[in-house]
Amino acid sequence: MPRAAYESRLTARRETLRRAKAGEARWSHVRLAVFFAAAAACYFLLDHARIAWLPVPIAGFAVAVVVHGNWRERRARAKRAVAYYARRLNILGATETSGTDGDVSGTVFPVDVAGHAYAEHLDIDALFARIVEARSAAGRRALADWLLAPADADEIRARQEAIEEWRDRIDLREELATADAALAGAVDDGALPAWGEEPGDGHRKGRRAILAALTGLTVACLAFGFYIPFLAALLAQGAYVLRFRRLVSTVVAETQRVTGELALLAQLLARLEAEEPQCERLRRLRARFAIDGQPASQRIERFLKTADRLDWRGNQFFALFALLLAWTTHHAFALEAWRRRCGPLLRDWAGAVGEFEALLDLAGYAFECPDDPFPVLTETAGCFVAEGLAHPLLQDAIRNDVRLDGTRRLLLVTGSNMSGKSTLLRSVGVNTVLAQAGAPVRARSLALSPLEPAASIRTVDSLAGGASRFYAEITAIRKVVDLTDGERTVLFLLDELLHGTNSHDRKAGGIAVVKRLIDRGAIGLVTTHDLALTAVADELGERAENSHFDCRLEEGGLAFDYALRPGVVKHSNALALMRAVGLDV
C-alpha cells in the first residue's frame, strides 16, 4: 500500500536526517580544530624552514572542509526527502504527519484559467495541487496544460503506458523531488529558451581568436622580459577589450540570471539520461536529450564550468591576473558562443524535462491510487459510461453509476441542496479531465470517447463588472454552446440551470438550451431544483433520463445518502427544514 511504503521511507529518512545532523555537527567541530592545528603547524614549519611539509596541514584542513560539506549536503537532501514523504502522506490523509515538514499549502496553478471552459468550475487547481511534485516550472506547466486540454486517443494510450511503467518508481520520484531546493521551480519553458534564442550581436567572426592572440602575445612578452613590447601588447589587448565592454557586461548579467535555471535543468537531465525506458513515449523523450551523441547535461555542464571560472575574477588574489589575461572578456566570449550554439536547444530540453516530470507526477498519483483503473477509450461518439464513479479528491466518497451513450445523451438530476448534485457534476468532469490527461480515474470502470468538457457550476455576480449571476450564467452557457462547433463531442455540466431567473423563463429557456446542445451532438448532465425542468425528458424521449438524490429529515436536520436514483425526486424537505430551524412557515 502506498501509505505504508511512504511511512516506512519517512521513518528511514528521518533517521538519515538525524545521523546527518550529528555528522555535520561533529565535523563542524573537527573542521574548526583542524583549522587551528593547521595554522599552528604552518607557523611552526615556516619558522623552522621546513616549508616542504607545508602542504600537509593545508591538505588536512581541505579534507575537513570537504567532509563537512558532504555531511551538510546529506542533511539538506535528507531534510528535503522528509518533507517530500510528509507532504505525500498529508495528501493521502495521514494527519499524524502534519506540520511544517509536510506543508502542502501555497501551490500556485501556473496557467491563467480566466474564461476557461471548465477549470474554475471543476477546481482544477486543487486537482493540480493533489498531483504535482515537479521541481521545474516547465514540469508544472506541462502538467497544468495536460489538465486543461484533452489529449487525443493515441497520446492518452502512450501516457498510460509510460505511467504504468513508472508507477512503482518511488526512488526516481524522490530523487527528482529532492533536487536542490534552492533551484526548485527555476526552469521555465518560456524565459530560459527565450534567452537561448536571442539573436547574436553581429561581431562574432574571429573575435575569440584575435583576443587569444593578443593575450598570448602579452603573456609571452612578459615571460621573456620584453617590457616595452609587453606594454604595447597590453594596451592593444585593453583597447580590444574596451570595444566589447557592452557585450561583456550584458553576457555577465545574463549569465548570473540563468545559471540557477541551467544548474537545475542539468541536474534533472543527468538523472533522466541515466534511465533506460521501455515504452515508446519515454524513449522518444529520452532521445531528445542527446545531440550528435553528446548528452544535454554535459553540454550544460560545460556552460556552468565556464560561468564558475568567470566568477574567479572576484577573488582579490586573482584580480590582477584576471586583468592581465582579459579573463572576463575571454569567458564572456565563450559563454556567448555556447548560447549561440546550444541556446536554441534549450526549449526542447526544458520541454522534454517538463513532460518527463508531468508523467512522473501522474505515475506517482497512479501509485497512490492503486484501486483506480485506467479508462477504456472507445470510438463510440458521445460516450461516458462509468460504474462506481466518485470524486478523486474526496475520501471515502459514495460511488454512483453514470451512463451517457449514443442513445441516452442527457441525465437531468433533481434533489435538495447538499444532496450531492454539484459533486456528481464535478466527479464526472474531473474524472474526464484525468482520463484525457492519461491518468487513472476514480471509478470501478470508465469507458469514454474523446470529449470536450465544459461546465457552468460556479457562477457568481460581479458588482465591479456590473454583471448579475444570471448574466454570468448565460454567458458561461453561451461558451458551452459555442464549443459544439468543434470536432470533439461536448460534455456539458450545468448546475442549477438558469437558477437566476423566474420559473416560467427557466423552464422555457432551459428546455431550449438543453435541446440545442443535444441536437448539436453534445452529451451531459443538468441539475435543478425546479421540477418543471424535468419536462425536458419528455421533450427528448429516450435521449434523456431523470435521476435524483434523496434526503430525509432526522432530528431537526437533513440526512443524505448521496446515492443516485432513477426518476424525479418525490418530495421536498424545504418547509420541514425551515420549521426545524425556528421559522414559522
**Quick one: what percent of the chain has pLDDT higher than 90?**
44
421 and 536 both lie in a single domain: yes
Number of domains in the chain: 3
Note whether residue 566 is domain-resident. yes
317 and 456 both lie in a single domain: no
Buried b (16+ CB within 10 A) or exposed e, 516-538: ebbeeebbbbbbbbeeebbebbe
403 and 550 both lie in a single domain: yes
The pLDDT value recorded for residue 465 is 45
pLDDT tens digits for range 434-453: 999 999 999 999 999 999 99
Residue type, 244: F
Q: Facing residues of 445 across strands?
A: 387
Decide: 258 and 136 in contact? Cβ < 8 Å.
Answer: no
The pLDDT value recorded for residue 416 is 80
Rounded Cα gap, residues 232 and 165, in angstroms: 66
3-class secondary structure, 456: strand
The pLDDT value recorded for residue 541 is 86
Residues with Cβ within 8 Å of residue 483, at least 6 apart in sequence? 117, 452, 454, 490
* Residue 7 belongs to domain spanning: 1-105
Rounded Cα gap, residues 325 and 56, in angstroms: 31
pLDDT tens digits for range 125-134: 999 999 999 8
The pLDDT value recorded for residue 182 is 47
226 and 83 both lie in a single domain: no
Note whether residue 203 is domain-resident. yes
Note whether residue 394 is domain-resident. yes
447 and 573 both lie in a single domain: yes
The pLDDT value recorded for residue 403 is 95
The pLDDT value recorded for residue 471 is 77
Note whether residue 27 is domain-resident. yes
Task: Name the pLDDT band for 462 (thresholds 50, 70, 90).
Answer: very low
Q: What are phi and psi of 453, to 5 degrees?
A: -65, 145
**181 pLDDT above the threshold of 70:** no
Instruction: Identify which has the larger pLDDT, 417 or 449.
Output: 449
Task: Name the least confident of 85-89, 182-186, 224-228, 308-312.
Answer: 182-186
Geometric angle at alpha carbon 430, from 425 and 433, rounded to 5°: 130
501 and 404 both lie in a single domain: yes
The pLDDT value recorded for residue 99 is 43
Mean pLDDT of 187-198: 76
Rounded Cα gap, residues 238 and 71, in angstroms: 45
Domain end call among 82, 105, 128 = 105
Task: Name the least confident of 80-89, 95-104, 355-364, 407-416.
Answer: 95-104
**Length of the chain as a residue count:** 585
543 and 417 both lie in a single domain: yes
498 and 558 both lie in a single domain: yes
437 and 341 both lie in a single domain: no
Domain end call among 90, 105, 120 = 105
Note whether residue 38 is domain-resident. yes
Note whether residue 451 is domain-resident. yes
Instruction: Identify which has the larger pLDDT, 566 or 556.
Output: 566
Decide: 477 and 464 in contact? Cβ < 8 Å.
Answer: no
pLDDT tens digits for range 331-341: 999 999 999 98
Phi-psi region of 378 (alpha: psi -120 to 50; beta: other; left: phi over 0): beta
Q: What is the CATH number of the domain that holds 512?
A: 3.40.50.300
pLDDT tens digits for range 464-501: 444 567 777 888 888 888 999 988 999 999 998 887 67
**537 pLDDT above the threshold of 80:** yes
The pLDDT value recorded for residue 143 is 96
297 and 403 both lie in a single domain: no
Task: Name the least confident of 246-250, 291-295, 406-410.
Answer: 291-295
Rounded Cα gap, residues 90 and 96, in angstroms: 8
384 and 349 both lie in a single domain: no
The pLDDT value recorded for residue 402 is 96
Q: What are phi and psi of 496, to 5 degrees?
A: 50, 65
Task: Name the pLDDT band for 189 (thresholds 50, 70, 90).
Answer: low
Q: How confident is the prediction for the chain on average, in pLDDT?
A: 85
Task: Name the pLDDT band for 540 (thresholds 50, 70, 90).
Answer: confident
Note whether residue 169 is domain-resident. no
343 and 382 both lie in a single domain: no
Residues with Cβ within 8 Å of residue 370, at least 6 apart in sequence? 1, 2
Decide: 551 and 415 in contact? Cβ < 8 Å.
Answer: yes
**46 pLDDT above the threshold of 70:** no
190: cell is 518560456
pLDDT tens digits for range 288-319: 888 777 899 999 999 999 999 888 887 777 77
Chain position carrying cell 431544483:
529
Note whether residue 126 is domain-resident. no
Task: Name the pLDDT band for 190 (thresholds 50, 70, 90).
Answer: low
**101 pLDDT above the threshold of 60:** no
Domain end call among 86, 105, 124 = 105
Mean pLDDT of 543-560: 80
The pLDDT value recorded for residue 188 is 55
| DSSP type of residue 335 | H
Mean pLDDT of 395-423: 89
